[in-house]
Chains A and B, each alone.
Chain A
């Protein structure tokens, strides 16, 4: 009797979220796969083409066309952003973890970009990166060392010709990477700080009594005990690296073509500029599989690799 009453109540309690998730998550997943089997521009009736869109992706990959460049750029962005962001944020978190006066203010400062719309940040960074009058190049041009030549003391500029950043094919991606690391630093550092604060101080006291130096303490206590956080941040960062879109859309729109053309930008422009909904859905569905694999890998590694405790 009790169980049945709970069942009815449960149905009532679950109905709103269930309907929402079913209509707007589950159905669209099925929809994404279904659309990926079509050739469709939304205006004219769709045509069933089987796996042709996936075959087209495979062909592009094999013959080094757009998709290969897009994947390479996305991997470049992810492979550079993730380790850089993790190293800097762990360093910052370790410094923030010292009980120092005024550290709360730093926590607020580092976190500012995380609450700010990335659109606003991207606009500011476009100005900072401006080749002629951007703050970064003005600073680089002003950097100089005193030098004696011909009996006269002169200032020799260290970087007389700074890069064109977003306008330069070689520097556009590094510029976006730097901006993205900057923007995500506070978020990752706060996560790391929470992980570090979970480590019992008795470990550090034991290490101090044993005469461990700073590196040994880091290597044998901090790093292993903070590893659940590391793995979490790593997985989340890889996933969001594959999903990078807004700063690219705002800062370069894929230019200098195709140096900053990334995966989601490709999906977006195939779907909503070229109106190739079928092909774009196939791209999106493959992204889903990639992210699923990364997540499953994280789950299986978590079980073996991380040390829980502290």
Chain B
């Protein structure tokens, strides 16, 4: 029995380790390739490791396309979208979880049903809207259509429902209104759910691709994903080293954030799964 357990554990380590290596190889290769001399890729025989460390690839990627602007745009947009979604979702979730009003359940189902609408269906009318509003090539086009999240309303409502009502009843007797109950009791107790949803919202906005691709053309207004895409458009297969340096720079901030807050990221994902 003991032996079987040990063998089983060994087997688990072997499989997980083997697959784990295949998960890491692309990342390792991205870093190694970003430091190579750009001509090294086209030589017939080439070692696994670069012949020297060519940091200038990073400088070249940074200056070929306006990388600094990409970072600024991505940060502004993701922070604004996350803040707006947290704000609108908290308020709606509180109304759905705690207030009594006519048509509450029907309205909640209407909110949920908007989640079934794929972004690819709304993108054409939204694009037309952006053109009419003259929002093409602006942060507004990347932020305003995403200020509300039905998913956020749903997730936070489910969490608010788990908070014992007695606390709020006590506060209510002391004369606290709904605004102060939400601000002083419900929100402080909901930090795990707020963090999880905030991270998911941020990640979604940070990595979003097709929408910025449609509404942003000016290089200085691009976010990281479509900025990186323009770097690939610039070099094609011509300069892999600089392309990889760009990919590393675009990927690194989120990877570092994940390594520091991995517990929250994984909690967020697990919460997503509760939808089923």
Q: How far is the CB of B159 from chain A (nearest CB, A)?
A: 16
What separation, in Å, do the CA atoms of A28 and B259 have in the docked complex? 38
A127 with B124: CB separation less than 8 A = no
B94 with A13: CB separation less than 8 A = yes
Q: For chain B, residues 20 to 38, give those with C-beta under 8 angstroms from any C-beta of chain A.
A: 20, 22-27, 29-30, 33
User: Contact string, B9-29, partner A, CB cutoff 8 A, digits 1/0?
Assistant: 100110110011011111101
Q: Does B147 interact with chain A (Cβ within 8 Å)?
A: yes
Cβ 8 A contact of B247, one of A27, A91, A113, A120: A120
Cβ 8 A contact of B120, one of A119, A190, A277, A284: A284
A231 with B247: CB separation less than 8 A = no
B107 with A98: CB separation less than 8 A = no
With a CB–CB cut-off of 8 A, which chain B residues contact A228? Answer: 276
Cβ 8 A contact of B20, one of A17, A109, A121, A123: A109
A17 with B12: CB separation less than 8 A = no
User: Contact string, B144-176, partner A, CB cutoff 8 A, digits 1/0?
Assistant: 111111100100000000000000000000000
User: Contact string, A262-275, partner B, CB cutoff 8 A, digits 1/0?
Assistant: 00100110011000
Q: How far is the CB of B230 from chain A (nearest CB, A)?
A: 10
Cβ 8 A contact of B16, one of A29, A95, A121, A281: A95
Interface residue count for B (Cβ, 8 Å)?
Answer: 95
Q: Does B105 interact with chain A (Cβ within 8 Å)?
A: no
With a CB–CB cut-off of 8 A, which chain B residues contact A19? Answer: 148
Given contacts A32-B122, A119-B225, A120-B30, A232 and B273 within 8 Å (CB-CB): yes
Q: Does A145 interact with chain B (Cβ within 8 Å)?
A: no
Closest 6 A-B residue pairs measured CB to CB?
Answer: A232-B276, A20-B148, A31-B125, A28-B122, A13-B95, A17-B92
User: A residues near B, CB below 8 A?
Assistant: 2-3, 6-7, 9-11, 13-14, 16-21, 24-29, 31-32, 34-35, 42, 88, 91-92, 95-96, 98, 100, 103, 106-121, 123-125, 127-128, 130, 133, 135, 182, 185-187, 190-191, 194-195, 228-229, 231-233, 235, 239, 243, 245-246, 249-250, 264, 267-268, 271-272, 277, 280-281, 284-285, 287-288, 291-292, 295, 302
Can you list 17 contacts pairing A with B, beta carbon distance less than 8 Å?
A11-B101, A13-B91, A14-B107, A24-B126, A24-B148, A95-B15, A100-B12, A112-B23, A115-B257, A116-B254, A117-B209, A123-B246, A124-B26, A128-B26, A243-B120, A284-B124, A288-B117
